[in-house]
Amino acid sequence: MTDTRLKPIALILLDVDGVLTQGEVIYNDAGQETKAFHVRDGLGIRMLLEAGIQVGIVTGRRSMALVHRCRNLGLTLVRDGIRDKAAALADILEETGIAAAATAFVGDDLPDLPIMRRVGVPIAVGDAHDLVKQAAVITTRAKGGQGAVREVSERILKARGDWEPLLSRLFP
């Protein structure tokens, strides 16, 4: 069953800690921050990009691990170290020319609420804070950092009718 709410999505924005990662902040012995990203989420992001859907990052933290991951995935709409996520959303919408109604955001915690209230399709990961789940119109089965972004990616691609053609083209 496809979700018609996802059909108009032209832009998906993602929080990082708790969405693309399990929410842990890990420091190595040299004091450098490291992060673990799920490879299935990465493929989901690449498939969205391949289908012409823009993908961006809006996160409160800065880290070199994120910079490297975004570079690896080809993401250029990256806003890190953001205190005002609603302002970051407005900036991205102006830059892309995409309406808030055609935008989805995937979040997990309280700092995500302002942006979730302003997009067309607010989405919570399965282990999100209860208030975030209440603000969402969709909650994933998967937890953050454990394939939630891939789950959302597939649902968007299926709703738009892009899933089967993309599979045929990318994995003949």
Binding residue positions = 15, 17, 46, 61, 69, 85, 108
How many residues does this entry show for the chain? 172
In the block, which residue shows the tokens 């738009």? 160
In the block, which residue shows the tokens 């209230």? 117
Residue type, 8: P
Q: How many helices (H) and strands (E) does the chain have?
A: 7, 8
Element housing 124 (H / E):
strand 121-124
Annotated binding-site positions for Mg(2+): 15, 108
Rounded distance, CA 154 to CA 147, Å? 11
Tokens representing residue 47 in the block: 């498939």
Bridging pattern class, strands 138-139 and 11-14: unpaired
Annotated binding-site positions for substrate: 17, 46, 61, 69, 85
Closest C-alpha to 7, from 102, 89, 93, 99 = 102
